[in-house]
Amino acid sequence: MNNNISPQKRATIVSSSVASILVVVKLTIGIASGSVALLASAIDSLLDTLVSILNFFAIKKAEEKADNTYQYGKGKVQAIAAVIEGTVITLSGFYIMYVSMNKGLNNSEVSLLMPSIIVMLFSIVITYFLVNYLLKIAKETDNIVIKADALHYKTDLWSNGVILLALILVYITGLDIIDAIFGFFIGIYIIYSAYEIIEEGIEILLDKALEDEILESIQNIIISEKEITSYHWLKTRTDGTTNFVEFHMVLRPNILLLEAHRIADQIEDKIISLQKNRRWVITPHFDPYDDEEINEAMLHGKSILEIERR
């Protein structure tokens, strides 16, 4: 495999390949057996394949360097992909619920139970290894798309276990309605699992601040510098790959620019060390006095003359 491929993109290639294998196996046995739970799982695996392919192109686009048109880069493409992935998962959950209710009403029978059980065992084993691999890459890269993919396949692991249990119960009891009931609740669980993926993607698109723990660490780094008398207007956000930080720090009015720049460099190095697997864009602003009130007034459309008249 090409060594130039990033761990994130390699992870999407692996997940889409695994999902494709599961689609073929589940769909073949699912159609032959008539198991709604197994067919639901096959549909979910098909969506997994499509989403993983989408994630590959999202990561590829996000890794492109900033240019004159997109000066902050294209990292938010990953958040868009996460929202799309969560939406697709939600729709698949509703479809599974619909198919389950339809089967329950029509009292359809399940055949080829033993092959179906073997397929689900195979699916659980291969999904387990995939989840652990994706979690490893997610931890190394802190990438929102890979985290979403890992969470998705983790829910698949649980739903596959439930489907296996349903098939075993049908095999033991001969009650085909169990398959429909389990399929319905799997649909609900899939919808629930998608919420977290959509929420995180939307938060990034809305420029939510970094986590409280990171924010507190940044504040401590700034105030620990003895040459800084105060700071204000600390703002943070992330696009899922790059963290953006800007703040105003108040220094002595007569401090040399060279010294002020050295202080800013030290602060930036300490902030970057908080999350080394993320890129950082840090923009400090030097103030000879605390002008927070002026900045706030200007933010609300007031001119400097209007502020001075006060």
What are the average pLDDT values for consecutive 10-residue runs of the chain, which has 310 residues?
A: 72 88 85 74 79 82 83 86 84 80 72 80 90 89 80 78 81 81 81 84 92 94 91 90 92 91 94 88 89 61 53
Return phi, psi of residue 232, to 5°: -160, 175
pLDDT at position 216 is 95
- Cα separation, 6 vs 299, in Å, equals 40
Tell me the two tokens of residue 68. Answer: 């004159």
- Cα separation, 273 vs 12, in Å, equals 27
CATH number reported for the structural domain that contains residue 217 in this entry: 3.30.70.1350
Residues 65 and 127 in one domain: yes
Q: Is residue 185 part of a domain?
A: yes
pLDDT at position 1 is 45
- Alpha carbon 283 to its chain centroid, in Å, reads 26
Indicate the residue among 156, 172, 205 that finishes a domain.
205
Q: Is 231 helix (H, G, I), strand (E, B) or coil?
A: strand
E strands present in the chain: 230-238, 242-250, 279-287
Domain that holds residue 110: 7-205
pLDDT at position 249 is 92
Return phi, psi of residue 2, to 5°: -60, 125
Report field, pTM of the whole predicted structure over 0.75: no
Domain total of the chain: 2
Residues 39 and 154 in one domain: yes
Tell me the two tokens of residue 40. Answer: 């639901």
Rg, the chain, Cα only: 26
Decide if 48 contacts 58 (C-beta within 8 A): no
Return phi, psi of residue 211, to 5°: -55, 150
Residues 112 and 201 in one domain: yes
Tell me the two tokens of residue 152. Answer: 């998705």
pLDDT at position 32 is 80
Locate tokens 């000066």: which residue? 71
Residues 67 and 111 in one domain: yes
pLDDT at position 3 is 55
Going by C-alpha positions, the residue among 85, 268, 273, 116 that lies closest to residue 193 is 85
Q: Is residue 281 part of a domain?
A: yes
